[in-house]
Structures are given as C-alpha cells and as structure tokens.
A = this chain, B = another copy of it.
Amino acid sequence: MSEPLHAHPVDPERVAHARARLPSREDAAQLTSVLSLMADPTRARVLFALDMVEELCVGDLALALESNEDAVGYALRLLRTAGLVTNRKQGRVVYYRLADGFPEPLRDHCLRQLIALTETSTPEDD
C-alpha cells in the first residue's frame, strides 16, 4: 500500500504545537485566494498601477501595462468581483481604483515590499 499510516510522529511536541496554531484550511483557502489574485503578472501590475496613480480607465490601463484590453478587462473583473478595486463610470469611460477597503497590510507590506524585493532580487531560484 502506498497510503501513509505514519502513525507515530517523530516529534509529537512540535506536531501538536504547529497543529494548534496553524490556520484552518478554510482560513488558508481564504488567504490564498487573495494571494492568488496577486499571483498573476497582469493583475499584480494592475494593482501596482492603481496604487501609484490612484485612478485609471480600462483603456489607459491597458496602455500603461502595454497589454490588451481583453487581458486587462478580465483582470479587472476578477479584482472587482473580489472587492479589491472599485469602478466609477463617467460617460462611456470606466475608471478603476483600489477599493477603500483594500487591505492595508497587503498594500503597505506586500505590494510595496515585494516591489522592493524584485528590485534587489528574489531568493535564488535554481
């Protein structure tokens, strides 16, 4: 059989310690769903752009990212659905910006920190 019956922990203390304060699968899923949203080049760059210039319409966003409207539109749809960005419609132009409730830790600690990361270089990926 290949199914694990690793019935005897090697270090039961640590197992208990870890298991006790580990996020539940649901919490982890919720967390990773947010991370997944940022874990895409297009969406991440959309967020970066909006973090910098506050507000942009779809076409301009596509221009700034040097991408096409399809990709940007799809990215915005997901971000909007998740509540990370909001839109304001003026005439036939739709302006997007980071949502008011955009998680500050994400913005301050992740978005910006991670940009710094890429500037120095991430860990070796060999």
Contact = CB atoms under 8 A, between A and B. Distances in A.
A41 to B, nearest CB: 4
B10 A66 contact: no
A50 to B, nearest CB: 8
Interface in A14-46: 14-15, 17-19, 21-23, 25, 27-36, 38-41, 44-45
Contact of A117 (B45, B68, B105): B105
A104 to B, nearest CB: 10
A102 interface: yes
The SS class assigned to the A binding surface is: helix
Interface residues of A, number: 73
A45 B63 contact: no
Interface of A: 3-4, 6, 9-11, 14-15, 17-19, 21-23, 25, 27-36, 38-41, 44-45, 48-49, 52-57, 59-60, 62-66, 68-70, 82-84, 93, 99, 101-103, 105-106, 109-110, 113-119, 122-126
Given A35-B39, A83-B126, A103-B117, 13 more contacts: A9-B59, A11-B57, A14-B53, A18-B53, A18-B56, A18-B64, A22-B49, A25-B45, A35-B35, A35-B44, A36-B36, A103-B123, A105-B114
